[in-house]
Structure 1
């Protein structure tokens, strides 16, 4: 992967000599070989070198990948952008690419990536995934997620993008699993944001589609349970968008449970806050949501 060449570039940019960087870590000759790509390095030594460069692994990998997110982040960013832009052609291209990689490498996660894109395609094209395909894919996906002992960024993002496929009982079980199995990573901002997104989408799922707001709400207990998880995760005060989103969902819950006036006030407050922050698109989306419910 030629990590050594990236280390050399960073070292020179920081004005640090080979001797100074190697001091207390390894020999100068070993570090020189590593930078040239003639020698591998242990994780322990790599950690010490990055510490001396005052850099963490995320920052190093971002530089190593030519100032681009890693491939997993790039995939979720690309699919998310295509979905938001309602770009069916790009979604088809991305799905084809994942299916080809799945055949080439024989790795099941590429199949799951294609399934996620298929969910986005069905929403964009207002189409249904056949029950047979859906049932088989759900079983494979659920088996994978349940057997993973610790959920990281990939598992959280994969589940977040496919939970619309699942039945309510499965969503609640897997969302609880996601919350529990990602606990040790929660101090890592990327994981924190991902589990927050899972909890938000679980709550939205429980509230139901807009055309069901006239029906009796049967998930009050579960709604409050996942709201309590959001409180435990603790959305930072600086994350204003998520805090406004939370206010919107609380308002939607009031409307869903019959407290119409109180709910409308909360959702309108969320809209007003976004308008004051010049987040016009988000404000318009919530305003449209309010009209529909």
Structure 2
């Protein structure tokens, strides 16, 4: 389940409109797209929106975990494959993510390539290093990193 759906569940349960939740943070159309899983959102904007609807990040994470199977959380799967030295599985994940579009897909692809690089099965390009540098420089809240 996408995080936007969880956000919408909280927002609608509190009878807060899209306009009320988004005001001064993101546009109404953007929030609507986020809630339908059509766009990604920055962690900073998510925190601001959660604050707006009076939901703690821990509450949000708890509901998210309750609504999702462990198999849907990819990071533990990536880590498990990496720790087991399972190059083939990491390459399978990489192929999947290389065929997706968007910033999140690009970051997932680079993460997998980095894992494969340390296992001697891939390399990171200078362009990918630049993407990571730009991404890390834009992070405003490092609480969970």
- Give TM-score, length-normalised by structure 2: 0.53
Q: Distance in 2 between matches of 1:93 and 1:59?
A: 33
**Map of 2:114 onto structure 1:** 116
Shift of residue 97 of structure 1? Answer: 1.4
Task: Confirm or deny: 8 A CA contact 1:79 1:91 kept in the other structure.
Answer: yes
1:8-55 C-alpha deviation (Å, 9 max, x unpaired): 6xx6xxxxxxxxx6xxxxxxxxx1xx5xxxx523256752432xxxx4
In 2, the alpha carbon distance for the partners of 1:94 and 1:120 equals 16
User: Higher RCO, 1 or 2 (CA under 8 Å, sep at least 6)?
Assistant: 2
Q: Deviations over 1:250-275 (max 9, x none)?
A: xxxxxxxxxxxxxxxxxxxxxxxxxx
- What's the counterpart of residue 57 of structure 1? 57
Aligned partner of 1:146 in structure 2 is 133
Cα RMSD after superposing both structures: 3.5
The answer on whether the counterparts of 1:82 and 1:90 sit within 8 Å (CA) in structure 2 is yes
What is the aligned residue count?
A: 110
CA distance change for structure 1 residues 117 and 85 in 2, over 3 Å: closer, same or farther?
A: same
Unmatched runs of 5 consecutive residues or more in structure 1: 12-20, 22-30, 153-183, 192-293
Q: Partners of 1:112 and 1:89 in 2: how far apart? A: 16
In structure 2, relative to structure 1, the CA distance for the partners of 1:75 and 1:119 (3 Å cut) is: farther
The separation in 2 between residues aligned to 1:138 and 1:83, in whole angstroms, is 20
Aligned-partner SS, 1:86:
coil
Asked if residue 90 in structure 1 is aligned to residue 77 in structure 2, the reply is no
Partner of 1:5: 9
1:136-285 alignment, distance < 5 Å:
137-148=124-135, 149-151=137-139, 185=142, 188=143, 190-191=144-145
Q: Per-residue deviation at 1:56?
A: 1.2
Shift of 1:82: 0.7
Q: Which runs of 4+ in 1 moved over 4 A?
A: 43-46
**What's the offset of the Cα at 1:144?**
2.0
Instruction: Sort the Cα spacing of 1:58 and 1:119 in 2 relative to 1 into closer, same or farther, 3 A.
Output: farther
Query: What stretches of structure 2 of length at least 5 have no aligned partner?
Result: 26-47
Relative to total residues, which structure has the larger helix share, 1 or 2?
A: 1
